[in-house]
Amino acid sequence: MTYKLLKTLGGAVAATVISTVAAVAGPIDDRIAAGEPIRIGFSNIPIWGFPDENGDAKGFVNEIALGILAEMGHTEVETTVTEWGGLIPGLKANRYDMITGGLYILNSRCENIAFSEPIGSMGDAFLVPAGNPKNINNYKDVLNDDGSVLIMYSGANTVEASRKEGLTDAQMMQVPGPTETLAAMKAGRADAAALTYFEALYLADQSEGVFEVTDPAALPEWTKNWVGIGFRDEDSDFMAKFNAALAGYIGTEGMLNAVSEYGYTASHLPGDKSAEWVCGNR
C-alpha cells in the first residue's frame, strides 16, 4: 500500500488517503484536459523529498518541481510516497506522471525514462563513526580493506559508483532508505554509508555526535551529479513546456527563497550542463 496525498497548491488543506495505486491513465496532457491532477511520486528522503507531518510534499526537489508547475498554471497535484526503488518502475507503469525526490540523471536511468533539464548539481559523501576509526573517505578505502562494508540505498547512484570502483557484493549492503541506513550503522553492521552530501549531513545531525561526514572532495570528480525530474518518454511535449518554465524559474530569488530552508543555495545551481550532456557523461 502507498500513501496518496491529494494536494491543491495555494493553501488548500492536504487530505491523506491510504489506497492502492492501480489506476492507469494516459499522458499528462490528457489528464490535464480531463481535469485530473498531475501525479507526482517521490520517496521519503530527508532534505530532497519527504512528506511533512501534515502530509504535504516537502524537500527542495519537490519545492522546485511544484514551483515550476505553478509557473505553468498547474495547481492540482496528487503526490504519492513510495520506496526509492519503486520510483522508476512506478513511473513506467503509469502510476505517476512525474517523479521527484532527488533522482540523479544517470545514463542507466536515461535508458528507461526521460529527464527534465537539471535543477541542481550535488556531490556525495560518506557517513562514518565519529573519528572515522577505519579512515574510510572514498570507495578505494573500502575496497582495500576486505573486512569493511559500505551501506547504500537500493537503486541509488552509489550502487553503480561502488561497482565502478571495484567493490564486491560482499562489501556492499543495500537497504531501502535512510531509516534502515542509520539503524544498520548504529548496529555496527556497516563501517560507512555512501549517501548524498545533504543526506549524510542530516543523518549525522540526527545521530547526536555518533557519526560524522567525510569530505565530499575525497570522492572521485566523476561522482558529482546533476538532479532532474523524471518523466515518461511519451510525455515529451509536456516535458518541453516544463523545461521552458524551468529555465525562467531556476535561480530566481523566489526559487532560492523557497528552498533555502533545506540548505540549497546558489552554489547548488546546475550551471550550463544539459540533461543530454549529463545522460551521456554520467
CA torsion 198-9-6-37 (nearest 10°) is -110
Q: Using 50, 70 and 90 to split pLDDT, how confident is the model at 17?
A: very low
Sequence ranges of the domains in the chain: 2-121+226-281, 124-223
Over residues 180-190, the mean pLDDT reads 92
Could you count the other beta carbons within 10 Å of the beta carbon of residue 135? 10
Q: Using 50, 70 and 90 to split pLDDT, how confident is the model at 26?
A: low
pLDDT > 60? residue 213: yes
**What are the tens digits of pLDDT across the range 230-252?**
999 999 999 999 999 999 999 99
Percentages (nearest 5) of helix, strand, coil residues in the chain: 40, 25, 40
What are the φ and ψ backbone dihedral angles of 128, each rounded to 5 degrees?
-135, 160
Cα 199 → chain centroid: 10
- 124-223 and 2-121+226-281 share a CATH fold: yes
Q: What is the average pLDDT score of the chain?
A: 87
pLDDT > 80? residue 200: yes
> CATH top-level class for 2-121+226-281?
alpha beta
Region 124-223: CATH code: 3.40.190.10
Residue pair 115/279 in contact (Cβ under 8 Å)? The answer is: yes
Alpha carbon distance 104, 224 (integer Å): 10
Over residues 164-191, the mean pLDDT reads 92
The pTM for the full model equals 0.72
Q: Using 50, 70 and 90 to split pLDDT, how confident is the model at 253?
A: very high
What angle (nearest 5°) sits at the alpha carbon of residue 147, between those of residues 142 and 150?
Answer: 45
